[in-house]
Amino acid sequence: MAVYSYPGPRSADYKKPSSVDDCIPQARALTAKLVPSDRPTGPVVPEFRVRKGDRLLIVTVPDQDKYVAEAVTQVLTEGGAEEVRFIYPKELTGRDPERYSVEDGWREVALYEEGKASGTTADLLTGMGLAEATTTFLDTHPEYTGVFLDVAGGNSTRAFGKHRDKLRGTWPCNNWEWFLSRAHNFPLPLWEEMERRILEPLAKASEVRITDPEGTNIEFSLTAEEAIRWYNNAFVRGHLMMNPFQVTAGEFHGRLGYDVRTPPVFPKANGVLAGTANHCGFFPRIELYFERDRLVEVKGGGRYGDGIRELMDKHNDIQWPGYHDKGLFWLCDTALCTAVGAFRRKSDLFESYWVYPNLPERSRAGVFHLGFGSRAYRDEKTADQYCREHGVQRGHIHVHNYFATFEVRLRGTDYWYKIVDKGQLAALSDPELRAMAAQYGHPDELLKYDWIPPLPGINCEGDYLKDYAPDPTAYLKKRIEEGKTI
Ligand SMILES: [Fe+2]
């Protein structure tokens, strides 16, 4: 029997609820009453915040699980809400969202072309502009005191404008599997400590290396000052920012109200990003070559690769304001999510109302999503104006890596510290963190991944380049037919 140096596939196995009672315990666990000194909510964990007399609006999609909805309504009502109303895209926009499948990973570049990529104002859930439509609804329905919407991110907050105080949290719980996820119940103090330990080495990094068995191999170096600036801004709960450019670009600082006079850090990364998945789904293996952060060549990728190559050819004269060279696509995102119990959803992988049906898998701790596109150097207004003048879109698109090793050379030494080793967060094996975990449960259980994807030849039987890389969806479907985990 073959022996692999990566942990074997496994998957979470939640049972579809068949009654409201099946959902009540989780609804209670996720319900928080608002108090004045409330802790900040995160982009990954849904929290149902309620105060007495609330009239709450939950913006959802047509496949909303009815038992989840009933349980959450019941628990929010017990918590003091006078009304809980689920509202659907049709009521807000006059039309139903489309359905998507992870078979169409190429769509992510099409969304970019339509101006609906990550980092722009489109909502992540449906791409229909639900945040904007909800604010219009609130103009004529001022009686609603709180709204739950979308999956995360600053996009909704910005779109909410004058109603932003009503934005109470996210609503990714149309899907029962996601609602039941134990990832949401991870003890928050432990989560915070884990993230602190992941980020600490960034401040001391002089070089960074990202490698992955699917073929990624990227390197960059940093000055001491750049490393500190990166470290100071890298924390976003549940979604750590592991690329210095993404957190020092003007658009990020502008949002946080920081001083935008300091130019962004371009780490001048060199190397190749390779993989088979993005937020939309899967595609034939792609290789993206970067020189000094700039995407210079794309190999493979099927329709996804074709779309990227076409855009590069069409817009070969683009030089984003403030950037040191021409180029449409730049490495501008290396995010590490940290939800230990998150997983690849099986219930709606091939039929979802989410414009990004493959988004959930990237939430799992240790999975990287790397993105290329552009970020506003100074402010979003200037970038938007440039887009209008040049007939081009901003935002970025992705490749996921499941078994990455992310290591930093500590300044003044030859020592490389592995923050993530073959997909495993080093923090999860840290004796002090494990001791802390013991206060909440068994460390082995709490700090264990529920889901590890199958990659033939890498962590299970088969040949990666023959059985998987040309058509990952076909491979996953075959495994489903054989009753194997995906
Ligand atoms: Fe991103």
CB of 372 within 8 A of CB of 320? Answer: no
Domain ranges of the chain: 20-183, 185-421
- Output the CA 55–ligand 1 centroid distance in Å: 33
- Output the CA 160–ligand 1 centroid distance in Å: 21
Which pLDDT score, from 0 to 100, does residue 398 have? 97
- Output the CA 333–ligand 1 centroid distance in Å: 6
In this structure, what token pair is assigned to residue 367?
A: 């999975």
- Output the CA 396–ligand 1 centroid distance in Å: 6
- Output the CA 334–ligand 1 centroid distance in Å: 8
Using DSSP's 3-state secondary structure scheme, residue 342 falls into coil
Which pLDDT score, from 0 to 100, does residue 155 have? 65
- Output the CA 395–ligand 1 centroid distance in Å: 8
DSSP 7-28: PPPB---PPPP-SGGGTHHHHH
Distance CA 117, CA 112 (A): 4
Which pLDDT score, from 0 to 100, does residue 33 have? 75
Using DSSP's 3-state secondary structure scheme, residue 395 falls into strand
- Output the CA 239–ligand 1 centroid distance in Å: 10
Contacts of 450 (CB under 8 A, 6+ apart): 10, 11, 12, 182, 183, 340, 341, 342, 343
Contacts of 238 (CB under 8 A, 6+ apart): 42, 43, 44, 45, 191, 337, 338, 339, 363
- Output the CA 398–ligand 1 centroid distance in Å: 7
Residues around ligand 1, an ion, CB closer than 5 A: 118, 333, 371
Which pLDDT score, from 0 to 100, does residue 161 have? 82
- Output the CA 475–ligand 1 centroid distance in Å: 26
Which pLDDT score, from 0 to 100, does residue 94 have? 95
Q: Compute the CA torsion angle 89, 335, 46, 35 (nearest 10 deg).
A: -120
Which amino acid is located at 381 in the chain?
A: K
Which pLDDT score, from 0 to 100, does residue 47 have? 84
SS percent in the chain: helix, strand, coil, step 5: 35, 20, 45
- Output the CA 357–ligand 1 centroid distance in Å: 15
- Output the CA 255–ligand 1 centroid distance in Å: 16
- Output the CA 399–ligand 1 centroid distance in Å: 9
Contacts of 240 (CB under 8 A, 6+ apart): 195, 198, 199, 234, 335, 336, 337, 338
Which pLDDT score, from 0 to 100, does residue 37 have? 47
- Output the CA 116–ligand 1 centroid distance in Å: 12
- Output the CA 443–ligand 1 centroid distance in Å: 31
Q: CA–CA distance from 8 to each of 11, 322, 427, 458, 459 (Å)?
A: 10, 45, 20, 9, 5
Which pLDDT score, from 0 to 100, does residue 154 have? 63
- Output the CA 397–ligand 1 centroid distance in Å: 7
pTM: 0.94
Distance CA 163, CA 468 (A): 47
- Output the CA 371–ligand 1 centroid distance in Å: 5
- Output the CA 416–ligand 1 centroid distance in Å: 26
Low-confidence ranges of the chain (pLDDT < 50): 37-38, 41
- Output the CA 119–ligand 1 centroid distance in Å: 7
Which pLDDT score, from 0 to 100, does residue 44 have? 61
C-alpha closest to that of 222 among 236, 202, 238 = 202
CB of 179 within 8 A of CB of 14? Answer: no
